[in-house]
Structure 1
């Protein structure tokens, strides 16, 4: 698990990586800013009211600040699904950059169509959001273990999806699924290694790119142990 991550970090100076990183940051910040704008708009529509001994209270201004503050805190948790939503559209660029440098002997990959990529990305975004909403109950019941559960759940989901997307570029869905299941421990562990820094502001803007690059290396390492032909 360590070697693929180190290889991914070593390629960060690559101009193609920088280009993808800029796009990823722009998309991620755009989604988060849209979230803040929607929350602020909904709250600002509340009319002022009067309270005894206090006078007129403008909930719009007060609640907007509170809501945006809450949204900024929530964005720490939302960053995982938001990053996954954005990176799904950039995965091909990242994987190509990795393979061009480290696996130049391979033939061109045959990734899924744009329609399939969009549907799969949106589907996974929904799964991540639903899984974290369901996990809220567990977080409340066992609050001290909430961070561990959060990282384990999201690490599993991230690893499963990222590895599958990378694998589908070079093997059938059945072969990709079989390879993932046979190595679920390594794939899950790397997913957790991604999920932890994804909850750290600023650093989380870089992790999706590093994660996809690392999973590309992991995929080629695992595939090299079996006789599945490249495509």
Structure 2
């Protein structure tokens, strides 16, 4: 696993990968900006409506303090958007990864596994669907864990564990589906759940590093291509007797 991580790290800065790296960073930044603007507008609008509602309830005499409170809330909302963008980086990188999955995998396979059968490119719709599902699930899990952030750091541990599970799951399945049907890729991931979760911890650590985490789609995909290759031998030995039995039956 350590060897796979080192190979992935070294390759994301190689000349063939730089074009993908810059394009993935650009897409991630666009998504972050759009998300930040949308959240800021929403929170500011809610603060303004809340001020008008409170003034209607309390009377015109409270206009000045309510206006000051709304202004403070708007500023706090701006900081909250920045913090939210940091926490949502795993969701954003999931979407970005679904766009560049095959380009990254192709480079890794050509450089490290030139004599083996290359993977088949995933349909873009399938890749984006998987990335969107992971992104939405990430947001849901984070919303559930958010109240625990204020309990002795329990929420941060929950964020990290959830990130490891979600990103390990997505990147491995995307790598596996280049060689096998989606159902078999998911079965392989479940069979190797412990190893893939441990690999997901490495990706979670990577995505937690500011700025560097913009390269997560490349690192995560390259890393899991190597992990899939390493696990394919034992999986082939397990699955082929089953298929032979079904065919014979």
Q: TM-score range by the shorter chain?
A: 0.7 to 0.9
Between structures 1 and 2, the one with greater helix share: 2
Q: Which residue of 2 aligns with 1:149?
A: 158
CA distance in structure 2 between the aligned counterparts of 1:73 and 1:87, rounded to whole angstroms: 22
1:79-110 CA deviation, whole Å, 9 max, x = no partner?
11111111111111111110010011123322
Q: Which residue of 2 aligns with 1:124?
A: 134
Q: Which residue of 1 aligns with 2:199?
A: 190
Does residue 201 of structure 2 align to residue 206 of structure 1?
no
Q: TM-score, normalised by structure 1?
A: 0.85
- Cα distance 1:207–1:54, how it changes in 2: closer, same or farther (>3 A)? same
CA distance in structure 1 between the aligned counterparts of 2:63 and 2:160, rounded to whole angstroms: 47
* Aligned counterpart for 1:169 among listed residues 178, 189, 210: 178
Alignment of 1:53-72 (within 5 A): 57=67, 63-72=73-82
Alignment of 1:87-106 (within 5 A): 87-106=97-116
- Cα distance 1:153–1:13, how it changes in 2: closer, same or farther (>3 A)? closer
Q: CA deviation at 1:115?
A: 1.9
What stretches of structure 2 of length at least 5 have no aligned partner? 53-59, 241-249
Structure index of larger Rg:
2
SS in 1 for 2:202: helix
Q: Which has the higher contact order (CA 8 A, sep 6+)?
A: 1
SS in 2 for 1:171: coil
- Cα distance 1:26–1:53, how it changes in 2: closer, same or farther (>3 A)? closer
What stretches of structure 1 of length at least 5 have no aligned partner? none
- Cα distance 1:217–1:57, how it changes in 2: closer, same or farther (>3 A)? same
Instruction: Work out whether residues 36 and 81 of structure 2, in 8 Å CA contact, stay in contact via their aligned partners in 1.
Output: yes
Does residue 190 of structure 2 align to residue 181 of structure 1?
yes
Does residue 168 of structure 2 align to residue 159 of structure 1?
yes
* Equivalent residues, number: 228
Q: TM-score, normalised by structure 2?
A: 0.80
Q: Which residue of 2 aligns with 1:14?
A: 14
Q: CA deviation at 1:21?
A: 0.9
Q: CA deviation at 1:219?
A: 0.6
Instruction: Work out whether residues 9 and 219 of structure 2, in 8 Å CA contact, stay in contact via their aligned partners in 1.
Output: yes
Instruction: Work out whether residues 51 and 57 of structure 1, in 8 Å CA contact, stay in contact via their aligned partners in 2.
Output: no
- Cα distance 1:72–1:51, how it changes in 2: closer, same or farther (>3 A)? farther
Runs (4+) of structure 1 exceeding 4 A deviation are 47-64, 137-140
CA distance in structure 2 between the aligned counterparts of 1:137 and 1:91, rounded to whole angstroms: 34
- Cα distance 1:53–1:29, how it changes in 2: closer, same or farther (>3 A)? closer
